[in-house]
Amino acid sequence: MDKKVTRIALVVLALCFIFTTISYSAESQTAGQKVKGFWQKLFNYPANVTQESAAVVADTAKGGVGVVTKEVKTLGQVTSGDVEKTKDLVIEPVTGTADVTVKAVQATAAVPANAAKEETPKANQ
């Protein structure tokens, strides 16, 4: 009877060891993925900031070009005899520049938050 109890105890102990090992392995894999994700985020953040900043600069430049283009058109209209557009020569650049500046400041303030957003994982294809 002692040998039978000992064998059963050893089998139960072996099963416990196997299940513990499997559980620990699964947990380690999850922890490994968390560590990998942390490092990826750490190194991707500066790249994302650069990308977002470049987009802000491009949008600001595009807005500035739009203001200048509109001013040149207005100047052309005034010089060709449309005197009513004279007030727009002063107002349009000021309001256009203010609009571009506000958009640039808002976009610049949003850069850190946008860069920190987690990318959605792509489905394996």
Q: What residue has token string 């513990």?
A: 20
24 within a domain of the structure (yes/no): no
Give how many domains the chain has, as a whole number.
Answer: 1
* pLDDT for 102: 92
Q: Does the residue 29 lie in any domain? A: no
Print the domain residue range for 86.
Answer: 35-116
Helices 86-116 and 2-79, axial angle in degrees (round to 10): 170
Indicate whether 13 belongs to any domain.
no
- Assess if residue 105 is contained within a domain: yes
Burial of residue 52 (number of CB atoms within 10 Å: 0-12, 13-18, 19+)? buried
| 97 domain-assigned | yes
Contact assessment for residue 116 and residue 52, using Cβ atoms and an 8 Å cutoff = no
Instruction: Express each pLDDT in 52-109 by its tens digit.
Output: 889 989 999 999 899 899 989 988 888 888 888 888 888 888 888 899 999 999 998 8
- Asked, for residue 61, whether it belongs to a domain, the answer is yes
In-domain check, residue 25: no
